[in-house]
Amino acid sequence: GAVVSQHPSWVICKSGTSVKIECRSLDFQATTMFWYRQFPKQSLMLMATSNEGSKATYEQGVEKDKFLINHASLTLSTLTVTSAHPEDSSFYICSAPASGVNTGELFFGEGSRLTVL
Amino acid sequence: GQNIDQPTEMTATEGAIVQINCTYQTSGFNGLFWYQQHAGEAPTFLSYNVLDGLEEKGRFSSFLSRSKGYSYLLLKELQMKDSASYLCAVRDLGDNFNKFYFGSGTKLNVKP
């Protein structure tokens, strides 16, 4: 199957700082990547859709200026949590549908657990 | 808007069969997916339905009725390692690309 790699797996930062999370498709090109957030014991909430070469599309209620998304190439999308606060602490996970896979299912990165002190 | 409902939690016995239901109401539909997620890990793909009917894949089967907005995941011969959350996801037709929306997940506890 297709492989999506996410980095870092764990990050702890101070309130007010910014954190960048990288998501890479290792063996396929991803024109679209999805960023999800998951709070404990809850499901995945779609935050935004990252599109290579164009602006990301954000879901309703997600602050564009807070969660900056850049899809610089066909294999890399980044999510930057700006001026992080404790309420931003969560599990952030990226995913991409792999072209050439019949079902078009999503392949997920390992996830990044962010803790803001 | 998107509305995908699943039971919050279920318990079953090792070796038994369990059915996890999912109902959905979405603005568009382009497939229904089931994922398994162990705590602290990324979801892994289990099954996919785009047409009505049953798809069987080893111990796992998934059913879809598009007219009813309903799907279920059937797990047979339960094993302890099947204890996990099971996520129902709908691929919705967006303006320019598909989006995937997830239900709240069903936590399955398998007991000896």
Q: Which SS3 state, helix, strand or coil, does residue A39 take?
A: coil
User: For residue A21, is pLDDT > 80?
Assistant: yes
Q: Which of A15-24, A48-57, B66-75, B95-104 has the lowest mean pLDDT?
A: B95-104
Q: What local confidence, expressed as pLDDT, does residue B1 receive?
A: 64
Q: Which of residues 19-58 of B touch A (CB under 8 A)?
A: 31, 33, 40-45, 48
Contacts of B91 in chain A (CB under 8 A): 104
List all residues of chain B from 83 to 102 with a beta carbon under 8 Å from chain A.
85, 87, 89, 91, 94, 96-102
Q: Which residues contact B44 (CB under 8 A, 6 or more apart)?
A: A108, B35, B36, B37
Q: How far is the CA of B4 from the CAs of A36, B25, B71, B79, in angstroms?
A: 16, 6, 11, 27
For the beta carbon of residue B68, count every other beta carbon within 10 angstroms.
10
pLDDT of residue A101: 62
pLDDT at residue A100 in the model: 61
At B24-71, the pLDDT tens digits run 998 888 899 999 999 888 899 999 999 999 999 899 999 999 999 999
Residues A41-93: pLDDT tens digits?
A: 788 999 999 988 888 999 999 999 999 999 989 999 999 999 999 999 999 99
Q: Which amino acid is at B39?
A: A
The minimal CB distance from B42 to the residues A45, A49, A110 is found for: A110
- Check CB contact of A110 with chain B, cutoff 8 Å: yes
Task: Name the residue among A32, A106, A113 with its Cβ closest to that of B97.
Answer: A32
